[in-house]
Amino acid sequence: MLKIAIQMDPISVVDVNADTTFDMALEAFDRGHEIWVYEASTLQLYSGNVRARAQKIETIARTQDDHASLSELSILDLREMDVVLIRQDPPFDMAYITASQILERLQPYVLVLNDPRAIRDAPEKLFVTEFEDLTPPTLITSDPHAVREFREVKRSS
């Protein structure tokens, strides 16, 4: 049996028919693994120990609004886990970056998926540009003038 902690958005509001994190938790639970869930905002680096305020999944089923029963919140030492899954929707703000830096401290003692450094170094919106032969003309910018120019060029071609 593995001990798995999942850093995710609140499990209480997931869509049990569409959320892949829920699917992974359900499958792991059904296989007999111990599953804990926590939100990134509860992650802590306390005197060198990586911890989170977490809840253990007691039961889980694909029944919307009645899909998981959880233990009381408790402080979980993430170094006691076999695996930590990073699964929340990435806001990619400083809190997210800091959380990834804290989770790096678990390595190599705990398998952290996806690798926190890789999450920072290969953000999903930019990573696709590494495959130029598979990617259509693409513009990534926050400059509205460049967006309009790109759009006009695309319309005329």
Q: How far apart are CA 12 and CA 118, in angstroms?
A: 28
Residues 99 and 129 in one domain: no
- Cis before residue 17, ω within 30 degrees of 0? no
Chain segment 80-135, per-residue pLDDT in tens: 999 999 998 777 788 888 999 999 999 999 999 989 998 888 777 788 888 989 98
Q: Is the pLDDT of residue 51 over 90?
A: yes
pTM of the model: 0.83
- pLDDT of 157: 67
Q: What is the DSSP letter of 73?
A: P
- pLDDT of 153: 82
Residues 19 and 81 in one domain: yes
Residues 103 and 141 in one domain: no
Residues 65 and 44 in one domain: yes
Which of the two residues, 94 and 1, has the higher pLDDT score?
Answer: 1
Residues 72 and 130 in one domain: no
Residue percentage of the chain with pLDDT more than 70? 98
Residues 152 and 97 in one domain: no
What's the CATH code of the domain at 108? 3.40.50.20
Ramachandran sector of residue 82 (left: φ over 0; alpha: ψ -120 to 50; beta: rest) = alpha
Residues 105 and 140 in one domain: no
Total residue count of the chain as it appears in this document: 157
- pLDDT of 11: 93
Lowest model confidence (mean pLDDT) among 24-33, 90-99, 136-145: 90-99
Q: What total number of domains does the chain contain?
A: 2
Longest CA span, the chain: 60
Lowest model confidence (mean pLDDT) among 42-56, 63-77, 84-98: 84-98
**Which amino acid is present at 75?**
I
Residues 85 and 150 in one domain: no
Residues 84 and 138 in one domain: no
Residues 71 and 53 in one domain: yes
- pLDDT of 19: 94
Residue 67 structural domain: 3-115
Residues 78 and 135 in one domain: no
Can you tell me the mean pLDDT for 51-72?
A: 96
Q: How far apart are CA 100 and CA 114, in angstroms?
A: 10
Q: How far apart are CA 89 and CA 76, in angstroms?
A: 22
Residues 68 and 98 in one domain: yes
Q: How far apart are CA 65 and CA 152, in angstroms?
A: 46
Average pLDDT of every residue of the chain: 92
Q: Within the chain, where are the H helices?
A: 20-30, 94-104, 116-121, 124-127, 144-156
